[in-house]
Structure 1
Amino acid sequence: MVDKTNIKKWDLNLLRVFVVVYKLQNLKRASELVGLSAPSLSLKLAKLKEQIGAELFFKTSKGFEPTDIAHKLFQQVEPLLSRLDDALENVKGFQPADIEGAIVVDLGQHFAPWLPLSLHNIISEQSPNAYLIADYFTRDSAVRLRRAEVELGIQFDQVEEHKDILSLKIGEVEGCFLVRDGHPLSDSIETVEQAIQYGFAMYEQNITAVGSNGLFIEALEQATIPYKIRFKSPSALTVHEILKSTDFVLPTALPPKRILPKGLRAVTLKDERFKSMFQVNAYIYQENRYSERCKWLVDMIKSVFLPEVLNK
């Protein structure tokens, strides 16, 4: 049992390390997240185990499995540490320049080709000791948010709802088709049938399951308009290269300020049967709803989207 006489000697960082390992259940990933080597992390866990007086994890082939004691400790400690961090942020005053290490954001495939550059530029300017990790938004992103593997996700307003994952509107983007320079389509078309005849190259959405095709294809199906998917890949670079060598068209979102890949151009759709603007949300774990750092991230991403929307 815990020696209450030595409670003042406790290192809160031991509990913080414990919370990260508990969430990830993987020593290597936990060490990368907290910025320590795996051996150093093991030593901290051993010290905490000694202070608690009980085993906290069992090492298995899949990682670190929490014991019953660990479950009880996490349930008591994690909310307290979260509130403590929020309180310290409010007292000290959050400063982006104080951030060190990785800032991890999961992005929908439609935003992955262009949003990371804008975020990288802002982070480099405001948080010179931090760096961006831009990953794909997948069906596992909700779990990653809960485990603190990712700070927030960016995706269209179409994600399965979870009571502990909050969605915040950050802006809107205009739907469009990407095609190669020299493609037969003009820069603006009146009906969707003009684009469908060439077949689609698409990002693999991977939101709920492999094979998910997104909002535009759902709208086509609801309107019972036939279409053909000719190519799909989760790699935006691969899809773009396919577009450059074919007459396929890519249903996607028009980036703010029309920042497009070299060799490709946007075709806007004027068909009144289909939405032209699509809402984009930030998804965060509810325990971070009062975090100044999280608010800064959301506001930073809003700054990329909103100026283009407001100027329309």
Structure 2
Amino acid sequence: MKDFDLNLARVFVLLYETGSVTAAADTLHVTQPTVSYSLGKLRRHFGDELFRRTGRGLAPTADARRLYEPLRRALAEIDGAARQAEDFDPGSMSGRFTLALTDLGEATLLPRLLAAARTRAPGVSFTIRPLDVDEAEGQLRRGDLDAFVATPVLFPQQIVRIPLFRERYVGMVAADHPRVRGDSVTLTDLAAEQHATVFGPSGHITPRAVLASHGLLDQVALEVTRLSILPYVLEQTDLIAIVPEYVGEVFTASHQVRLVRLPFETEPIEVALYARHESSRSPAQRWLVRFMSEVLGEQVSSAQLPPWSSGRQPTGRREPA
């Protein structure tokens, strides 16, 4: 290994995580021929093809899969020892980041993120894309996204999951609902009412799963693709919907809806930030992940319902190594 260039390890890790010569070159701020030349040196050094071209990009060979984790860990340790936290100064430098959020994320999390950024990083701007959980991982690896926020638990090897906060579910109805009067509903109440729910690419599947577990899917009168449409529907109808509590609190501030306690405990959802491994991020992306973890991971209060034992709890978040 005395003739092995550390930069080759970084090229290898980026090629593995992005599956793209173009994305690796963009991250390293070099030309594509430079990355291709480095790949050639890697192949000669290890005596293996390492990556094969497919219709979806570069696919690693068995030897490449064996090499990836030790090389990634080594780079992370070296970067941790050598990197200066001031590589990206948000107070004086500009940067544009592309994030993927659900419609709920845009309505509830994005305002908090922007408010903090306007104060702490006035030169930073954002482009927001709709989250498609089936495509987001590939978009992140290719460099089309800098980060995304999602509730589904994804553990691909090439990216990291950073928990932000946990959320419980509540019911939401029109403020003047003709039958649901108190601050809670019974299972009999839910069975007697018709429901609105969401089915789509955002990955918010728990409300439908809860209804299915109690034999209430036949009571679904409306399916929409976005949770953000529900308050508009509910304030004009007698339907009921199951929503994350913090999202519901945001909706009650702008719509004629209110929240009610459900008659059963639901598994809390965990909202998480997804990003590349730290060793594969640019200095600006490292700042972005720290910033988003801090701002979006803050405890949020619950003001609409009386407290109960399973309320929202912080996750004690930390970024995986």
Shorter-chain-normalised TM-score: which range? 0.5 to 0.7
Instruction: Give the 3 Å change call, closer, same or farther, for CA 69–257 of structure 1 in structure 2.
Output: closer
Q: Tell me the equivalent position of 1:117.
A: 111
In the alignment, structure 1 residue 4 sits paired with structure 2 residue 3 = yes
The residue matched to 2:297 in structure 1 has which SS?
A: helix
2:32 counterpart (42, 54, 71):
42
Aligned 8 A contact 1:220 1:226 in 2:
yes
Shifted more, 135-144 versus 229-238: the winner is: 135-144
What is the TM-score of this pair, normalised by structure 2? 0.62
Q: Distance in 1 between matches of 2:176 and 2:108?
A: 22
Measured against aligned partners, the alpha-carbon deviations of 1:96-144 in whole angstroms (never above 9, x if no partner) come to 556844264565x754542223223323433333525465373676787
In the alignment, structure 1 residue 258 sits paired with structure 2 residue 249 = yes
Q: Distance in 2 between matches of 1:237 and 1:194?
A: 24
Aligned 8 A contact 1:288 1:294 in 2:
no
Instruction: Give the 3 Å change call, closer, same or farther, for CA 137–173 of structure 1 in structure 2.
Output: farther
Matches within 5 A, 1:261-280: 264-270=255-261, 273-275=263-265, 278=268, 280=270
Q: Distance in 2 between matches of 1:74 and 1:27?
A: 16
Equivalent residue letter for 2:115? N
Q: Tell me the equivalent position of 1:131.
A: 126
Identity %: 13
Q: Distance in 1 between matches of 2:254 and 2:300?
A: 26
Aligned 8 A contact 1:22 1:74 in 2:
yes
Matches within 5 A, 1:223-262: 223=214, 228-237=219-228, 239=230, 242-243=233-234, 246-255=237-246, 258-260=249-251
Segments of structure 1 that go 5 or more residues without pairing to the other structure are: none
Q: Distance in 2 between matches of 1:27 and 1:4?
A: 23
Matches within 5 A, 1:1-312: 4=3, 7=5, 12=7, 16-26=10-20, 30=23, 34=27, 41-52=31-42, 54=44, 57-67=51-61, 70-71=64-65, 74-89=68-83, 92=86, 97=91, 100-102=95-97, 104=99, 111-127=105-121, 128-131=123-126, 133=128, 135-136=130-131, 138=133, 151=147, 153-155=149-151, 159=153, 168=163, 170-173=165-168, 175-179=170-174, 184=178, 188-192=182-186, 193-194=188-189, 197-204=192-199, 213-214=205-206, 216-223=207-214, 228-237=219-228, 239=230, 242-243=233-234, 246-255=237-246, 258-260=249-251, 264-270=255-261, 273-275=263-265, 278=268, 280-282=270-272, 294-303=289-298, 306-309=299-302
Cα displacement (A) at 1:17: 4.9
Aligned 8 A contact 1:57 1:64 in 2:
yes
Instruction: Give the 3 Å change call, closer, same or farther, for CA 226–204 of structure 1 in structure 2.
Output: closer
Measured against aligned partners, the alpha-carbon deviations of 1:17-61 in whole angstroms (never above 9, x if no partner) come to 543332232456x2797396xxx6522322313544645544333
Instruction: Give the 3 Å change call, closer, same or farther, for CA 3–59 of structure 1 in structure 2.
Output: farther
Q: Distance in 2 between matches of 1:4 and 1:43?
A: 21
Cα displacement (A) at 1:82: 2.2
Q: Distance in 2 between matches of 1:207 and 1:268?
A: 22
Question: How many pairs are equivalent?
Answer: 290
Aligned 8 A contact 1:17 1:34 in 2:
no
Measured against aligned partners, the alpha-carbon deviations of 1:44-102 in whole angstroms (never above 9, x if no partner) come to 32231354464554433332233566556644532222223333446658865568442
Segments of structure 2 that go 5 or more residues without pairing to the other structure are: 280-285, 308-321
Report the RMSD for the aligned CA atoms in angstroms.
4.9
Instruction: Give the 3 Å change call, closer, same or farther, for CA 254–134 of structure 1 in structure 2.
Output: farther
The residue matched to 1:4 in structure 2 has which SS?
A: coil
The residue matched to 1:230 in structure 2 has which SS?
A: strand
Equivalent residue letter for 1:259? V
Instruction: Give the 3 Å change call, closer, same or farther, for CA 31–20 of structure 1 in structure 2.
Output: closer
